[in-house]
Amino acid sequence: MKLKNLKLSTKFTFTVGLILLTFCIIFSFLLYVHLKDRVIEDANEKTLIIMTQVGAVGDYIKNTLRPRMFEFLKSTDANDAFIVEAMSTTHVTQEVMKRFNANLKDYIYRRVSDNPLNPNNKADQLHEELISRFRKEREQNSWNGIIKINNEDYIIRAKAIAADKKCLTCLLQSVQRS
């Protein structure tokens, strides 16, 4: 059957159907792109909230709890004492995030190093690449993006953390207790 032999109403219906199908395909594609971008944006916001919370806990330990603990320990003549569970930002944030990860398994928090005192904190290949990136681009202290691992996309948020001399006391005490 040729198109010429069809009635005018059939041709009109067929043409309108093609136009509607085209618009539906275009609309579906645009909606997919928009929703995908929105999901990625939402996930990025959530990772930023998590990292901000972890940073706030670490700052509180470093700037409030640890100095207060040192004062308390001096007053009890335990000048050399160090309570890892209360004074090490790394230890506390990792313990808090272990509990977090146990409840929300879609999120993974790791604090790693290419030369850790604790072997459990050894960076894998992905983290080695991120550490290398931060070393090359010193002005950049955080990075987020999408990385494909085993054919699955993962949203990653990484933050560079540099340990200062005051942190070495915490690190050494932490390792001795591990």
The answer as to whether 9 is a domain residue is: no
Q: Which residue has the higher pLDDT, 162 or 142?
A: 142
Number of domains in the chain: 1
Q: What is the pLDDT of residue 164?
A: 65
- The answer to whether residue 21 is domain-embedded is yes
The pLDDT of residue 29 is above 60? yes
pLDDT score of 117? 77
Residue with tokens 């395909």: 25
Burial class (CB in 10 A: 0-12, 13-18, 19+), 170: buried
* 165 found inside a domain: yes
Which of 70-74, 155-159, 163-167: highest mean pLDDT? 155-159
Q: Is residue 73 part of a domain?
A: yes
Average pLDDT on 162-175 reads: 60
Q: In the numeric block, which tokens belong to residue 74?
A: 């001096």
Tokens at 105, concatenated: 């398994």
Range of the domain at 116: 16-177
For residue 4, being part of any structural domain is answered with no
Q: What confidence tens digit (pLDDT) does each residue in 36-58 have?
A: 999 999 999 999 999 999 999 98
List the beta bridge partners of residue 142. 159
